Amino acid sequence: MTRTLPFLLATVAALGLDASAFVRSSAAQEATQEARPSRVEGEAFQAPAAPGAGTKTAEQGPPNTEYKPLLPNQTRAPEPTQKAQVETAVFAKGLDSPWAMEFLPDGRVIVTEKAGKIRIVSKDGTPGQPVANVPKVDPKGQGGLLDIALSPSFASDRTVYFSYAEPRDKGNGTTVAKAKLVESDGKARLDDVKVIFRQTPTYDGDKHFGSRLVFAPDGKLFVTVGERSDKQTRGQAQDLSSGLGKVFRIDTDGNAPKDNPFVGGDKAKPEIWSYGHRNVQAAALDGQGRLWTVEHGPRGGDELNRPRPGLNYGWPVVTYGIEYSGEKIGDGATQAGGTVQPVYYWDPVIGPSGMAYYDKDLFPDWKGEFLIGGLVSTGLVALKLDGDKVVTEERIPLDHRVRDVKVGPDGAVYALTEDDGQIVKITPKKSS
């Protein structure tokens, strides 16, 4: 007896398994094409007992919904019995609504500001003058100059990639450009600015642009975007002919790699890697070089996902959140055939923005954990995983809206705070 691909994806997603072993470009694109795997790879999602996990959860506030998780430890994981003791210090200040940062090879930090400026912060924490030749951005609402990433060969080619809300005829949209960073006589500029990718369709709105830029080990670039928030656009997160609510995978010139899951389809955008996303503003690679994302839910339902090729992450068909008004979203479903459950979700939300994988030695207890910035939780959220399962969650309060987080070359953690324009350095607390 044969089964069609939707049946297989539904089964795999419901079990929380990894379908990437058999999702292929033409099969994922054509719903009527039969898949032919001999077996499903992976194991059932069972959260192990974690050494060092306590009995108290990091989140103590009441949830917005009565929805129940489908999977063990899918929400409100226990916090560790031994929590990190940290000290904070202001590394830099005087930034204007900063959005993203990246360490340069020499230890300086390049920072984007929402209104459309790029600055280089010196090793002593002094912000430099704005970098010249930055393209015009649309800064309204959640728009503006967004993420920045260094070319994998930045040391030799000095190329930076950045995303921004681009003003366009009849609206705006998330755009990715690259340029050469040139420094001379104490000044910096962008040369050879070239747009390599535009999210389409254009829409006249001011919300849910995404976006994060993450280079994979193979040199391909992941680009996360939003579905533009409004009810009239959010359904396009399910539409493979639309660029709203997707994770894209492109090469350094903006082309779709030949092994993307929807290459060769008649209608699907070939740059799409995964779909059914709401608004992804946090993304990072784990120690195996795999992409992980955290996306904004509505009222409840922020999600940690590991996007895999060709899979559907559900929005707005399924969600663990509700409308800001308190109404259900759609039918109020939290699971559906053909969609993938989040690895983890938050209700109430943390407001995720920025994400780093900790792989240094300064914080031994954080090694191998994800550190996520919280706009609503006003601090960092540390997630410990065992395999692909969250086993502990820890909160590190900073009392500021954290827009981005990075691990410095010194092993310290650096948080970019949106509300007061600072970079906060986080180190282990010294014993008295």
Cβ-contact 105, 154 below 8 angstroms: yes
Could you tell me the two tokens for 246? 């997707």
Torsion angle in degrees (nearest 10) through CA of 133, 138, 142, 146: -20
Domain boundaries, the chain: 84-428
Nearest-angstrom CA–CA distance, 359 and 409: 10
Instruction: Report the pLDDT value the prediction gives residue 371, as an integer from 0 to 100.
Output: 98
Q: Is-contact 397 374, C-beta < 8 A?
A: no
pLDDT of 130 > 60? The answer is yes
Q: Identify the band that residue 52 occupies on the pLDDT scale cut at 50, 70 and 90.
A: confident
- Which of 374, 372, 371 lies closest to 351, judged by CA? 374
Structure tokens at 383: 């997630």
Q: Is 208 a catalytic residue?
A: yes
Three-class secondary structure of residue 23 per DSSP: coil
Cα 18 to Cα 10, 234, 311, 412: the distances in Å are 12, 26, 10, 33
**Pairwise CA distance, residues 130 & 142, whole Å:** 21
Reduced to 3 states (helix: H, G, I; strand: E, B; else coil), residue 380 is strand
Q: Could you read off the pLDDT of 267-299 as tens digits, one per residue? A: 999 999 999 999 999 999 999 999 999 999 999
Reported as a pLDDT band with limits 50, 70 and 90, residue 32 is very low
Higher pLDDT among residues 153 and 25, named by residue: 153
Locate 204 and state its tokens.
Answer: 């006249």
List helix spans (H) across 291-388. none
pLDDT (tens digit per residue) in 90-105: 999 999 999 999 999 9
Give the residue among 353, 279, 281 at the shortest CA–CA distance from 321: 279
Residue 49: partners with Cβ closer than 8 Å, 6 or more residues away: none
DSSP conformation letters of 103-167: E-TTS-EEEEETTTEEEEE-TTS-B-PPPBTPPP---STT-SEEEEEE-TTHHHH-EEEEEEEEE
DSSP letter (8 states) at residue 290 = -
User: Which single residue is written with the structure tokens 């995303």?
Assistant: 163
φ and ψ of 357, to 5 deg: -100, 125
Please determine, for residue 181, whether its predicted confidence score (pLDDT) is greater than 80.
Answer: yes
Sheet containing strand 344-346, strands side by side: 280-285, 291-295, 302-305, 344-346
Q: What percent of the chain has pLDDT over 90?
A: 85
**Max CA pair span of the chain:** 72
What type of residue sits at position 100? A
Proportion of the chain in helix, strand, coil states, percent, rounded to 5: 5, 40, 55
Higher local confidence (pLDDT), 249 or 36: 249
The three-point CA angle 189-193-194 to 5° equals: 165
Q: Are 126 and 92 in contact (CB under 8 A)?
A: yes
Least confident of 51-55, 94-98, 377-381: 51-55
Closest CA to 207 of 188, 184, 225: 225
pLDDT at 120: 98
pLDDT in tens, 319-368: 999 999 999 999 999 999 999 999 999 999 999 999 999 999 999 999 99
For domain 84-428, say whether CATH 2.120.10.30 is its number.
yes
Distance CA 275, CA 293 (A): 12
Catalytic residue selected from 208, 277, 296, 400:
208
pTM as predicted: 0.90
Which tokens in the block code for residue 233? 């656009």
